[in-house]
Amino acid sequence: PDGRQQILADTEPYRFEVLDLRTAGTEEAEHRLTSIRDRMATEVRPADVWPLWEVRVSLLPDHRVRVHISFDLLVADVSSFFYQLLPQWREFYHHAESAPEPLALTFRDYVLAEEELRKTPRYERSLEYWRKRVRELPAAPELPTVQGAGGGERLGFVRRHARLDAELWGRIKAKAGEFGVTPSSAMLAAFAVTIGTWSKSQRFTLNFTAVNRLPVHEEVDDVVGEFASFDLLEVDAVSAPDFAGLVRELQRQSWADFDHRYVSGVRILRERARARGGTGDVMPVVFTSALGSDVDGKPAPSPVDWLGEQSYFISQTPQVTIDHFLLEFGGNLELAWHAVDGLFPEGL
């Protein structure tokens, strides 16, 4: 009732719903699969009803299986889903007898530790930093929109996807290293330049998703929970001398902001509204980087490859109009753009 998460004392074993399409015709099978996908992609589950996810299976001809997964990130952020839940599922799939020891740290412990942190000088310094920053931050990108788009109706997201193979992505990472910047910063700058091409102003603020696991305990990286926050990152494409200069400036600013990550993105928006006399605004253009880190000099293994080939993926977030998402698996770079197409003119 008070909006806080609960760990239920008793739940029934979760069972997949199975749809057998092995004898269905091609047209019927595609129709049923598309119907399942469309429903799961747009369904909003009650936040107070367990479970906040759905997994189901469709059996197809030629011994093929389609696994459908829908997951509400209210209970676990992107990092938890890809780097804790999926690897554990893989472990149980291959080794059903696995019985990992429970962690000493719980997400509740983390939340309580974070609340205590708000009473410290470190938090006060971060809050003062952001109170000064929000007075200087420009508005969100002013992108062209279709007049009357939606007409009060909820517009859906459209997904676009691309993949850079390991060879090309490796060259981009090497070039970034030559300039002393991270690959994530380079991709962020490329996204900012693209947005700036369409924005009325070349100075704007991006919503930069950050997984904000504060180092409160040695097990914090193993806990499943909603740790995600966001940084209001200033982009000034006019002042940058060239693309490399823009990359360096964005990296410098994002690192400065990260040093003051103890204040949540929601609180930063509130401080911005207060600084503007009580009028707030949303930051609907989002950059989300979940680039994997190398393990012993080798690309991090993919947490999803064991499930087979990915056929569809989409994320949808309230008050977001464009979300550019990066993920590195098996040395390849996966890029996805989730956008409310109906809001923008054709061609944007």
Domains within the chain, CATH numbers bracketed: 1-72 (3.30.559.10), 107-343 (3.30.559.30)
3-state secondary structure of 99: coil
Tens digit of pLDDT for each residue in 125-170? 999 999 999 999 999 999 999 876 655 556 788 889 999 999 999 9
Q: Check whether 293 has a pLDDT greater than 70.
A: no
**Residue 300, pLDDT above cutoff 80:** no
**CA geometry: angle 77, 230, 248, nearest 5 deg:** 120
Indicate the pTM of the whole model: 0.84
- Token pair recorded at residue 128: 């003062």
* φ and ψ at residue 48, rounded to 5 degrees: -105, 15
Tell me the CA distances in angstroms from 274 to 56, 119, 278, one per residue in order.
Answer: 46, 21, 5
Q: How far is CA 49 from CA 2, 37, 60, 111, 307, in A?
A: 14, 21, 31, 21, 27
Helix (H, G, I), strand (E, B) or coil at 140: coil
Radius of gyration of the chain (CA): 22
Residue scoring higher pLDDT (146 or 292): 146
**Residue 210: closest CA among 157, 174, 258:** 258
- Looking at mean pLDDT, say which of 2-16, 92-106, 149-163 comes out highest: 92-106
Between the alpha carbon of residue 139 and those of residues 86, 208, 276, 285, the distances in Å are: 37, 14, 11, 11
Residues 317-343 pLDDT 10s = 888 999 999 988 778 898 999 999 899
Residues with Cβ within 8 Å of residue 228, at least 6 apart in sequence = 73, 77, 78, 79, 209, 210, 211, 212
- Cross-strand partners of 158: 339
User: What is the pLDDT at residue 150?
Assistant: 56
d(CA 145, CA 344): 4
- Select from 229, 250, 230, 237 the least CA-distant residue to 204: 237
Q: What is the pLDDT of residues 254-273, one digit of tens each?
A: 999 999 999 999 999 999 99
Burial of 334 (0-12, 13-18, 19+ CB in 10 A): buried
Q: Residue 74's pLDDT is what?
A: 86
Identify whether the C-beta of residue 130 lies closer than 8 Å to the C-beta of residue 263. Answer: yes
CB of 297 closer than 8 Å to CB of 304: no
227 close to 105: Cβ distance less than 8 angstroms: no
Q: How confident is the model at residue 294 (pLDDT cuts 50, 70, 90)?
A: low
